[in-house]
Every structure is written in C-alpha cells, then in structure tokens.
C-alpha cells in the first residue's frame, strides 16, 4: 500500500520533515495548521498528530484528489476496494482495446499494454462512481491509487516534462491501493483546490506553512499526465511531451512572484507564518533560478512580524546538469504582530 510520501515530486519536503516539524513545534503555538501549497501533502501528513484542525490546499487537480483519497473522513469499504484492485490486476492487458491513454502515451511514458490497462481502469472508475457502485470516498481512494501506481512505473526521470527515449519499455504496472489516514474524533480537516492568494483572504488558522514554487517550472506542466488522467476530459495533446494546452499557471513562477508573495503574506489571518525556501537564485539554468530572493522574502516577512531564519544543507533535486554547490534549505518563522 502507498503512503503519501511514496511519490516522485519536485520540491517534496519529506526528507526534511523531521527537522521542519521540530522547528515548528519549538517556535509556534496553536491548535490549527494551514498547508497552503501542499504539493504531495507530506507536510500535513507528518504533522497529523500535532494539531486539532487542518486546512490543506493545492491548485493541482491530481493533488486535490490525492488529499481526498488519504484524508477525507468519509466511509469506505476496504474489502470491496481490494477486490476491485484484484480484478483489474487479473485482466490480460494484451487483449484490451486501444484507449486514450494507450494511443497517446503507450510506448512513450508507459509500456503499451500497461497504458491500455491504465486507460481501462480510469474509464471504469468514472463509470462506477456515476452508477453508484462506489461512493465518493471509494472513488477518491481508487483514483489516488491509480495515480500512485502510474507514478511508480512511469518512464520518466521523476516528472513528466519528457519521457525517456528507450526501446521496449518493460511492463511493470501493478495497481496498488493507497493507505488512507484516520484522524482522531476531535480532529477536523478542510481540503481545497484554490489559488492560495485568494484562499488566504477567506480562511484563518494559527499556523500557516508556505512552500510556494520559486522558479519558472510550472507544476501543472511538470505533472500534466497526472492532471490529464485525473480530470479525464481527454484533451488534444501537443509537442513531444504530449501536453494539453496551458492552464493553471502559477504567478509564483513568473517575474511578478515577489509582488504576489507579498500580497499573500499581507492577507494571511494567522499567528505564525512558516516559509520554506531553497537557494537556487544563482543557478546557471534560467528555469531553476528563483523568482524571489532570500532577501526579498525576509523583508516581506519582517513587515508582518519578528522573523527567525534557520538553514540546513540539502541536496537539491536536479534532473539536468546544473551543479548547485553549497545548496541549503531555509525555514523562516514569523510571529505575527497584530
């Protein structure tokens, strides 16, 4: 079974979470935790025993489904789900008809037979929920499980900006379930898929954890296949990487990032702000170079309240040839002054 951290995801904080969690617990007080750019969701998952109320948000459709699969506190029948997964894994994928996934992604991102099965499962999930054979929570679990199973075997270097040019891609797809999380009776969680700057104007919490994108790499483009299979609108695809038309593009990946970040900080209704940052501002690669400097972040946060800075050496994920020497992960913690 998959846990939330079992994903290949650019910028994931999983390996840093013990350090980050201790910093938050040592420097912040409160009962509610807001994860505003949640990505994989591992930050919220790691902090699940520490607070009463949680808010988790990301603007990707695939991440929202994954949060609901793991964290939505609704009923489901695990025995039924295991039987469904077993039935799909027993299918002879070589006998399946071609479908949207196999036509577009077969022998590219996936083995051609694996792609047929992925498309078959995705089509059946949509049919089953519409016919009430599975409830909403079961649908989110099964769809999240499909996304994790896809990500585990995809013919990529960790994201979907391109596939590896190899012949005879091995058939490795196996449909496995995620392991949903059970909250305590007195705990609550709210799940959103909204623009973080807009959401910040409507909600409040004691502690806000903020880990926005800092460079020009758009997550909606990096994970376009997971977004495509989640939405299941079967759009026309373009280019070598087989991406749909642009959508869901983040302002944090553009030159306007400092202004957008300041707007976010100004509108937050919280007691503490925790911001993570990695120092790729001097990268030789324009796509890796940060759109906000460490100095700009500090200046913006200090207008909101007293800010502490913590740092830790950390190897940055890099699929290219850029060498990030002396790379560090920074954590800013601001105690908001009313």
Local structure of 185: helix, strand or coil: coil
pTM over 0.85: yes
DSSP 8-class letter at 146 = H
pLDDT, residue 325, reads: 57
pLDDT, residue 216, reads: 57
Convert 88-124 into a string of H (helix), E (strand) and C (coil): HHCCCHHHCCCCHHHHHHECCCECHHHHHHHHHHHHH
pLDDT, residue 324, reads: 47
Strand 305-313, strand 328-336: pairing: antiparallel
Nearest alpha carbon to residue 65 among 12, 10, 126:
126
pLDDT, residue 246, reads: 76
pLDDT, residue 318, reads: 47
Nearest alpha carbon to residue 294 among 312, 282, 306:
282
Q: What's the CA gap between 180 and 200, in Å, rounded? A: 27
CATH 3.40.50.150 in the chain is located at: 1-73+186-216+254-338
Q: What's the CA gap between 160 and 221, in Å, rounded? A: 8
Q: Which CATH number fits domain 1-73+186-216+254-338: 2.30.40.10, 3.40.50.150, 3.40.50.300, 3.40.50.2300?
A: 3.40.50.150
pLDDT, residue 283, reads: 44
Q: What's the CA gap between 237 and 223, in Å, rounded? A: 14
> Which residues does the chain have with pLDDT short of 70?
214-218, 248-249, 279-291, 314-327, 338
């Amino acid at each position: 079974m998959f846990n939330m951290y079992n994903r290949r995801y650019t910028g994931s904080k999983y390996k840093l979470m013990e350090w980050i969690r201790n910093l938050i617990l040592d420097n912040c007080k409160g009962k509610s935790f807001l994860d505003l750019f949640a990505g994989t969701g591992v930050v919220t998952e790691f902090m699940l025993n520490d607070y009463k109320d949680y808010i988790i948000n990301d603007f990707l459709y695939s991440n929202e489904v994954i949060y609901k699969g793991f964290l939505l506190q609704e009923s489901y029948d695990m025995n039924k789900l295991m039987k469904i997964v077993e039935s799909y894994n027993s299918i002879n994928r070589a006998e399946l008809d071609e479908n949207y996934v196999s036509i577009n992604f077969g022998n590219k991102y996936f083995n051609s037979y694996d792609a047929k099965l992925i498309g078959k499962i995705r089509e059946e999930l949509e049919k089953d929920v519409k016919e009430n054979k599975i409830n909403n929570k079961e649908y989110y679990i099964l769809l999240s499980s499909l996304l994790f199973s896809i990500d585990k075997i995809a013919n990529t270097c960790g994201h979907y900006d391109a596939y590896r040019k190899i012949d005879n891609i091995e058939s490795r797809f196996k449909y496995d379930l995620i392991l949903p999380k059970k909250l305590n009776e007195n705990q609550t969680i709210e799940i959103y898929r909204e623009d973080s700057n807009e959401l910040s104007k409507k909600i409040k919490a004691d502690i806000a954890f903020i880990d926005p994108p800092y460079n020009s790499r758009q997550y909606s483009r990096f994970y376009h296949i997971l977004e495509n299979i989640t939405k299941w609108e079967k759009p026309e695809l373009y280019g070598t990487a087989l991406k749909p038309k642009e959508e869901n593009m983040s302002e944090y990946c553009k030159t306007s990032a400092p202004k957008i970040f300041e707007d976010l900080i100004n509108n937050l209704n919280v007691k503490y702000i925790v911001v993570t940052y990695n120092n790729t501002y001097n990268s030789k690669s324009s796509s890796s170079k940060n759109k906000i400097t460490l100095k700009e972040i500090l200046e913006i946060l200090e207008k909101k309240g007293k800010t502490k800075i913590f740092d830790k050496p950390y190897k940055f994920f890099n699929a290219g040839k850029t060498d990030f020497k002396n790379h560090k992960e920074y954590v800013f913690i601001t105690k908001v002054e009313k």
